[in-house]
Amino acid sequence: MIKIVTDSTADLPPELIEELNITVIPCHVHFETETYLDGVDLTREQFYEKLAEAKTLPTTSAPGIGVFTETYRRLLEEAEGVVAIHVASALSAVYNSARLAAEKLDQTRIAVLDSKSVSMGLGWLAVAAARAAQEGLDLHQVVERVQAVIPRARVVAAINTMTYLWHSGRVHWGTAFLGNLLDIKPLVVARDGVVRAVARVRTRKKALAHLRQLITELGPLQDLAVLHTRAPELAHQFADRIADLFPRERMLIVEAGTILGTHVGPGGIGVGCLLAGG
């Protein structure tokens, strides 16, 4: 039996976590002097309420190495091995902390993988790992399954405002100001550990149309979640809009958490998906 571990930036819905028996290690969320465990003592609703009121944008940090070590040790008491897959190492220190923790234990029984993705891009990889484990695959087979799927993970999003990107320091101040002035809606793609802007449009309507086109260009999809940041009604509407591209009954509607929420702000819409295998 192989246990699967990920972190809270995966934005996995609770029902999937329970169904697939995935262990989720919470990251830390810092609002100035206050620190919370993501998803444990800070819900999504509370996070976005505090985000709207915050004078300074929150930051996130990786759990301590000891948290990973204790988690792995506990799981190894009842399992043959552990496969841990975490948020892209280029975007967070979580993967490095997990790797260092594994080195303190039996590395023949622990595999720590860099998802090179975020949010439900990471989430679907954890799901793929858990499904492989449920099939009875051993540690190396589960790792091989996930490594084959990692290049197929995508997150595509339409950002409603550049204000949060500006405050987070991810874009030049002048660009952010111009974007707000002209009501520009950037579209971004996260893949292979890199988040890049792929288009800028003037209105929300054009942004959603462009987002649909980007999803169309991805080709056949294996799994898909519609992501939103405090915009559930819009997320359901967009899910209906792309139902001809992916079965509506198989879509998940997921409120993105601290990573996307901090840098995107409310009103963002996107998808986290896995491309269909060849």
Give the pLDDT band (50/70/90) at residue 182: low
* CA–centroid distance for 109 within its chain: 26
Contact 126, 10 (CB under 8 A): yes
Q: How far apart are CA 74 and CA 81, in angstroms?
A: 11
So what's the pLDDT on residue 35?
Answer: 95
For residue 233 the two structure tokens come to 């009604």
Arithmetic mean of pLDDT, 17-42: 94
Whether 166 has a pLDDT exceeding 80, the answer reads no
Q: Report the percentage of the chain scoring pLDDT > 70.
A: 94
Arithmetic mean of pLDDT, 232-238: 97
Arithmetic mean of pLDDT, 259-267: 85
Rounded alpha-carbon distances, angstroms, from residue 265 to 96, 214, 250: 27, 21, 27
pLDDT per position as a tens digit, 113-162:
999 999 999 999 999 999 999 999 999 999 999 999 999 999 999 988 87
Give the pLDDT band (50/70/90) at residue 262: confident
Give the pLDDT band (50/70/90) at residue 173: very low
Whether 81 has a pLDDT exceeding 60, the answer reads yes
Q: Please give the CATH topology (third level) of the domain spanning 153-275.
A: Hypothetical Protein Tm841; Chain: A;domain 3 (3.30.1180)
Arithmetic mean of pLDDT, 260-270: 88
So what's the pLDDT on residue 177?
Answer: 56
Arithmetic mean of pLDDT, 165-193: 70
So what's the pLDDT on residue 224?
Answer: 98
So what's the pLDDT on residue 82?
Answer: 98
Task: Tell which CATH classification among 3.30.420.40, 3.40.50.10170, 3.40.50.300, 3.30.1360.120 matches the domain 2-150.
Answer: 3.40.50.10170
Mean pLDDT, the chain, as a whole number? 92
Please state the domain extents for the chain: 2-150, 153-275
So what's the pLDDT on residue 59?
Answer: 86
Cβ-based neighbours of 151, under 8 Å, separated by 6 or more: 192
Q: Report the percentage of the chain scoring pLDDT > 90.
A: 73
β-pair type (110-114, 153-158): unpaired
So what's the pLDDT on residue 215?
Answer: 97
pLDDT per position as a tens digit, 49-67:
999 888 888 888 999 999 9
For residue 15 the two structure tokens come to 């029902």
pLDDT per position as a tens digit, 34-45:
999 999 999 999
Sign of CA pseudo-dihedral 112, 8, 51, 62: negative
